[in-house]
Amino acid sequence: MAVTTIAKPHRGLARFLHRLRHGRDSAQRQFVFGSVSPMVLYMTFFTLFPMIWGLALAFFEYSARRSGGPILGLGGDNPFVGLQHFRNMLNFAPDAPLEIRQFHISIKTTTIFAFLIVPLNLAITLPLAVLIESVHKRLKGIFRTFFFLPVLAPSVGVALMWGWIYHPQRGLLNAIRTAIGGKLVATNWTGDQSLTFLGIPVALLAVIVAYLWQDMGYNLVIFIAALQGIPESIKDAARIDGANWWQMFTRVNLPLLKPTIMLASVLTMIDSFKVFDIIQVMTEGGPNEQTRVLVLDIYNNAFRFQRMGWAAAVSFVLFVVVMAISIVQARLLRTEWEY
């Protein structure tokens, strides 16, 4: 791949250069060997090795609290349990052990979370991108900056901010409702498990709103760039044909943006399957586990309750989910190239 054709050089020189680049020149070999071999060592130790270790853990009843066997503490007090963890995941009995039910809850919650985030995100960012793209050039940058700022804020800060917006007695949201209604309201947005909207816990929706607020800037910026990439000639042609705003959006922008939208959806979905920060800070998975997501489940099991073997098995599930989405992404990218 690194071969580039050299524009008509002298034949001898070409051979010389070719040898320089691909041949047995010891300086180059030294350079490559000297750089690549430490990297290979490093990656074997810090990437490959933990991958294998993590996978192995999923087959053991492992807790870092126990010393266990001679190799990596596996075996002995940390016995090999084979596929037990994965079999347990399929135990859907209502009286299954707590961590299994918590796993089921986290899978369900994470899926709802991801499948709500993607359409909501697109429904906001796409029109917003078109609107921003349509305003004066100078203001365009200002608006873009504005909506992009939350992306850069540490998610912990975002979670604290929104936690205080949702605070039942001192939050902004209830204050606005109190001001409008003239009657004190103290809805506990993130803590009242009896509240649902269309069957979805309100606490989960509250977290989703905060997540959307922080996350949408990415897609916005990507869509604005994609819109700028649409050739002016196509837009002009549509305008001359008398297309209105809506027609421009549905007939010109959307079809041309389709590959970008697909890609952005996939990336957004992968990220929402990995959500942790906002939820851990805002609700810790509560109320009554209504916002318990996969990474929180992994974190709690591994680092609070020392069920590392089980947590590794749950991590493996997360890996499979993300990989499945990534494969879809690869397919989408390929179709994009075909155009």
Partner 1 sequence: MTSATLTKPSLMHRMRYRINLAYFILIPASIVAALPFLWMILGSFKSGREIRKIPPTFFPEEYTLENYQTIFQEEDLPLDLFYRNSAIIAIANVVQVLFTSSLFGYIFAKFEFRGKALLFWFIMATMIIPSQVMMIPGYLILARLKLINKLWGLIVPAAIDAFGIFLFRQFSLSIPNELLDAARVDGASEFRIFRSIVLHQLRPALATFGMLTFMFNWNAYLWPLIVLTEQKVRTLPIILTWYSNMHADQMHLTMAASVLVVLPVLLVFLFTQRWIVHGITLTGLK
Partner 2 sequence: MSKRFPILLISLLIIASVVLGACKAAEPTPAPPEEGKPAEPVTEEVTLRVWTHQNDAFNEGYANLAEAYMAEHPNVTITFETFDYDTYIQTLQTALPAGTEADILQMFGSWVCSYVEGDNLAAVPSDVLSMDKARDTVFSAQLAGYICDDTLYGIPQEFNIEYGAVLVNTRLAQEVGIEDIEEGWANWDEFIADAQKLVEKQDDVMIRAGYHFTASDAIPATFYSLILQYGGQYLTDEGFRVNTPEGKQALEFMISLVDAGVVDPVLFNDEENWVGDAYFEELTAIGLVGPWVIPEYAADYPDIVDVTRYIQLPSFSDEPVFVASSGWGLTVSARSQVKETAWDFISYAVLNPENATQWNIASGTLPALKANAAGAGAEKLMAEFPYFEPFLAILEYGQHEGHFPDRDLVWYEITYSRILNALQGNMSVEETLETLEREVNESY
> Contact residues for partner 2 (CB under 8 A)?
36-37, 40-41, 44-45, 49, 63-67, 70-73, 77, 95, 97-98, 168-169, 183-186, 188, 190-194, 283-284, 286-289, 303-306
Under rule CB under 8 A, which residues in 102-161 are in contact with partner 1?
Answer: 128, 131-132, 134-136, 143-150, 152-158, 160-161
The strand pairing partners of 78, in sequence order, are 75
Among partner 2, partner 1, none, partner that 297 touches (CB below 5 to 8 angstroms by kind):
none
Binding mask 259-298 for partner 1 (x = CB under 8 A): ----xx--x--xx-xx-xx--xx-------------x--x
Residue 292 interaction partner, one of partner 2, partner 1, none, beta carbon < 5-8 Å per kind? none
Among 306, 310, 305, 298, CA closest to 273: 298
Question: What's the CA gap between 307 and 319, in Å, rounded?
Answer: 18
Identify whether the C-beta of residue 229 lies closer than 8 Å to the C-beta of residue 253. no
- Compare residues 98 and 152 and give the one whose CB is closer to partner 2: 98
CB of 286 to partner 1, least distance (A): 15
Nearer to partner 1, 89 or 308 (CB): 308
Q: Which does 65 bind (CB under 5 to 8 A by kind): partner 1, partner 2, none?
A: partner 2
Pick the closer one to partner 2 by CB: 13 or 41: 41
Residue 196 phi/psi, 5-degree rounding, is: -140, 155
Between 186 and 330, name the residue whose CB sits nearer to partner 2. Answer: 186
The reply to whether omega before 287 is within 30° of 0 (cis) is yes
Q: Does 6 bind partner 1 (CB under 8 A)?
A: yes
Cβ atoms < 10 Å from Cβ of 229:
10
- Do residues 101 and 263 make contact, with C-beta atoms less than 8 angstroms apart? no
CB of 28 to partner 2, least distance (A): 17
| Measured distance CA(113)–CA(105) in Å, rounded | 12
| Spatial CB neighbours of 258, under 8 Å, sequence gap ≥ 6 | none
Single-letter code of the amino acid located at 290: Q
The site string for partner 1 over 62-101 (x = CB under 8 A, - otherwise) reads --x-------x-----------------------------
> Sign of torsion, CA 228 232 237 243?
positive
Q: Which stretch binds partner 1 (CB under 8 A): 87-95, 97-105, 115-123, 311-319?
A: 311-319
Q: What 3-state DSSP class applies to 286? A: coil
Q: What share of the chain is helix, strand, coil (3-state, %, to 5)?
A: 70, 0, 30
